Chains A and B, each alone.
Chain A
Amino acid sequence: MLPGVVSDYLNRLDSKRIPPLILHIDADCCLLDSWGKPEALGFPPLNSGVDLSDALPFLTGVDATRSGSLASVDPGTGHAIDVQFLPDAAGRLFVVLTDAREQHIQTAEQQQRTYETRLLYQKQQKLLDQLIATRTELDLRRREAEEALRVKGQFLASVSHEFRTPLTSVIGYAEWLAKAMDPDDPARRQARAIARAGQHMVTLVDNLLEQARIDNSEATVHEDTVDLRQLAEDMSAIMAPLAADKGLAFAVFLDPQDAADVVLDEMRVRQILINLLGNAVKFTEEGFVQLTLAWANDQLHVAVSDSGPGIAEADRARIFSAFERLEGAHKRAGAGLGLHITLQLVKLLRGSIGLDSRPGEGSRFHVRLPAPLAEIPEETTAPAASGGRILVAEDDTDIVQLMELFLGRAGYTLDLAANGRDAVTMALGNPPDLVIMDLNMPVLDGIGAVRELREGGYNGPAIALTGATLDEDRIRAISAGFDGFVTKPIRMPELIALLQDLIE
């Protein structure tokens, strides 16, 4: 006979459920009596008098004096049950076990979906956090890299400036000596060699500076009138001695019909040619290196051929990458920048570059650059004596003397100032026909001096002289009041042509 507390509980149960199992147990979990079928809830047959703590482990530690329930319990049978503890007024403990499988399965399905979704969300959130952290880190690295590039650019500009001032003297005096010497004097060739070597150093500095500009996306095209015959001669003068040192035959070909004056960025074209020829000489151990220049349909066609080791097809794309040098027998010292810069320069000039090569059969680099015919071929040699009074403000005495030599011979009278302050005083006191001022001078620099000159009413032309070659320096100089800008090392014929234009 079931006590009232159990009957009342059973009356409240869902009638659709499997009939419950009711156990009457003592304080030691021994079964005293039972109602229902244990097998229906996944239990083995339960006999009166046996200890239930193994078969029904949830009975362990139960407080026999208090009612309570456990929902959705799997006692190790794989069969979920709800458990209700029902002590009666007489101190007996009844346990009602009801089937909970249906509810358990429904809850499990729903809970599985919910938790899997939450896990996915948490993983997604973690990935997003990682992405944000990575992006933040990358932004930081990018800013650091940009800053490093900026500093590198400044450093290279500064180095370039420092090199250009002494190179002005080296090249200028070497050229002066060569001109002054007897044509038959062997020392004349040596003086010209000094000038060429100086010019080569300028090219090397330009290469470094160019890479900095390309890295900073600051490279711009400066179109000049280029005499292709002069270009061919210059390349021969620069490269032939290097090839001769290695016992290589060196030749430059330019059909006289193609010897036109064309519009090109001369400095960049020279860099391209020197880089290609320099590589050809460097990697060719015997045989020849040759340069062919041709001009047709407003395009300059360049071919640099050699009898060197050649380049395998698999390596062709790689050689144009920065800091790439081929492994193996042909590995040489160097930064691996030459071809990379060449490719960047060709792109900058809207041209194309290609390579024909097979291992053991030499290489032939061919470049095409847009080069329209120059409208008015300019005579770039020193003009005849013209005259005029020029104030030269420059603190480097070697350069001052060089100007005295060249400009004096060209018919100009020079007033000399060693700093910007003196230059302002002299120019405002007795205005010259033209002012040439170094930008980097003691006491008062060129920018400050030209501002004071303009404010003081000096309206004559003013030329800035500097070792810096960055566009921003040009803009700064022109904005301050200069009319022209000459970069060291000074090419005297060009300076004189500029003077003539401005004074007229």
Chain B
Amino acid sequence: MDVLTCKICIVGDFAVGKTSTVARFVHNVFSEKYLTTVGVKIDTRKLSVDGAEIKMIIWDIAGTDRFSAVEFSYLRGASGYLVVADGSRSHTLDVAERLVQEARERYGAVPQVFLINKFDLQDEWEVPDERVEQLRDGGESVFLTSAKSGVCVDEAIHALADMLVAQQGDQ
């Protein structure tokens, strides 16, 4: 069986939980300790989607609120984006939307999924439901995730995998 190999970039502001999301998805682990990512860290996981094998090479890009030349070099050739924001810091959702816009302007549109992370921090949650609905109304796939508890992490990344497989089928 042919394996569909896809480069996926996970982007977002610093400390929104990108590395934790990848760790949960690839290794099913979580650490409370915040460790910043420098440059890019690459992990791989294979998935089966509707009988198709997909190998996701996930590029965990250091958090930023604006892409520089270095980050743009990581994005080149990406098949899809996991766009992460921190639900307890609502401005990180603004950053996430801006990063997607910058990437789209540079390399064109690719499938993307929004993960509004830290859903376990209900007491500190800042992103209003209306904002989430607004994104969904705009056609975005949005998941309220928790890398800590694992809530919706797999679902979000599987949703992106579905899009990639469907896109491959269309081609």
Contacts and interface: CB of A to CB of B under 8 A. Distances in A.
A80 B38 contact: yes
B40 A111 contact: no
B78 to A, nearest CB: 8
A71 B15 contact: no
Interface string A106-118: 0110011001101
Contacts of B79: 61
Contacts of B34: 115-116, 119
Interface string B40-53: 11111000000000
A276 to B, nearest CB: 48
A323 interface: no
B7 A74 contact: no
A104 interface: yes
Interface stretch (A62-70, A351-359, A373-381, A423-431): A62-70
Contact of B14 (A107, A108, A118): A118
A72 B44 contact: no
B57 interface: yes
A112 B35 contact: yes
Given A53-B5, A71-B70, A119-B15, A108 B76 contact: no
B40 A74 contact: yes
B41 A74 contact: yes
B36 A57 contact: no
Contacts of B39: 70-74, 80, 100, 104, 107
B38 A108 contact: yes
Interface in A76-90: 76, 80
Contacts of B76: 63, 68
A422 B126 CA distance: 70
A75 interface: yes
Contacts of B5: 53, 60-61
Contacts of B35: 112
B158 interface: no
B38 A76 contact: no
A115 B73 contact: no
A129 to B, nearest CB: 10
Interface in A291-340: none
Given A60-B5, A122-B89, A115 B40 contact: no
A459 B74 CA distance: 98
B42 A73 contact: yes
A100 B70 CA distance: 15
A58 interface: yes
Interface string B43-78: 110000000000001010011000000100110110
Nearest to A68: B73
B77 A115 contact: no
B44 A70 contact: no
Q: Give the dominant DSSP class at A's interface.
A: mixed
Contacts of B44: 54, 57, 76
A53 B42 CA distance: 12
B36 A76 contact: no
A75 B14 contact: no
A111 B74 contact: no
A443 B7 CA distance: 91
Contact of B41 (A68, A76, A112, A122): A76
A83 to B, nearest CB: 9
Contacts of B42: 57-58, 73-76
Contacts of A69: 73
Contacts of A58: 42, 59
Contact of A70 (B38, B63, B73): B73
B89 A60 contact: no
A118 B38 CA distance: 16
Interface in B68-124: 70, 73-74, 76-77, 79, 89
Contacts of A108: 36, 38
Nearest to A74: B41
Given A60-B7, A68-B76, A115 B43 contact: no
Contacts of A61: 5, 7, 77, 79
A290 B9 CA distance: 87
A438 B84 CA distance: 76
Which among B38, B41, B57, B74 has the greatest number of chain A C-beta atoms within 10 A?
B38
A73 B38 contact: no
B143 to A, nearest CB: 23
Contacts of A118: 14
Nearest to B43: A76
A483 B134 CA distance: 72
A108 B43 CA distance: 19
Nearest to B78: A61
B84 to A, nearest CB: 15
Nearest to A103: B38
A62 B77 contact: yes
A43 to B, nearest CB: 13
Contacts of B36: 108, 111-112, 115
Nearest to B73: A70
A73 B40 contact: yes
Contacts of B70: 71
A63 B15 contact: no
Given A57-B57, A74-B42, 4 more contacts: A58-B59, A61-B77, A70-B73, A76-B42
23 contacts: A53-B5, A57-B44, A58-B42, A61-B5, A63-B76, A68-B73, A70-B39, A70-B74, A71-B39, A73-B39, A76-B44, A80-B39, A100-B39, A104-B38, A107-B39, A108-B36, A111-B36, A111-B38, A111-B62, A115-B15, A115-B34, A115-B36, A119-B15
| Pairs A-B, 7 closest by C-beta atoms | A72-B39, A61-B77, A74-B41, A108-B38, A112-B36, A111-B36, A57-B57
